[in-house]
Amino acid sequence: MGVHLDSSKGFGVSRLEVLEGPSGRRRRTKAERARIAAESMMPSVTVADVARKHGTTRWQIYDWRKQIRKGNLVVPESVAALPFFAELVVDDSATEASAAVPGSDLEIVVGDIVIRAGPGVDEGQLTRAIRAARAAAS
């Protein structure tokens, strides 16, 4: 709500104007929430800028991002097709294949490259291996 006071006559207030905006909170569809959350995940974009642009809060966008990770919101096809997003595919047959490789708890496939990591793998080493595999695959 905004208030405008007109005191052009030099004494007191001659006119009081009260401006009101839309009442209540805005309801967004699931598609809108997913699109806004996906926009906030783009490279060199900040959540605060996206929140200001769409008239919402950073915390709301963080919640929508969490809903995407849980599968409660679906990223639109136009955004999911961008190279910044990777589709997660769960293959149940991987449990049989991992039984054939003793001591391997994690298997990551990047293109034609398979990375297997045991329970004691160093996180930094695994990160470097994944980056190297991505670079080799592209």
Task: Dig out the tokens for 48 from the structure.
Answer: 């605060």
**Model confidence at 53: pLDDT above 90:** yes
Residue 60 is predicted with a pLDDT of 94
**pLDDT one-digit tens code per residue, 58-104:** 999 999 999 988 888 887 776 666 666 666 666 666 555 555 556 55
Residue among 32, 30, 35, 40 nearest 62 (CA)? 40
**Model confidence at 14: pLDDT above 70:** no
**pLDDT one-digit tens code per residue, 28-46:** 999 899 989 988 888 888 9
Residue among 65, 69, 47 nearest 56 (CA)? 47
Buried b (16+ CB within 10 A) or exposed e, 112-128: eeebebeeeeeeeeeee
Instruction: Tell me, yes or no, if the pTM score tops 0.85.
Output: no
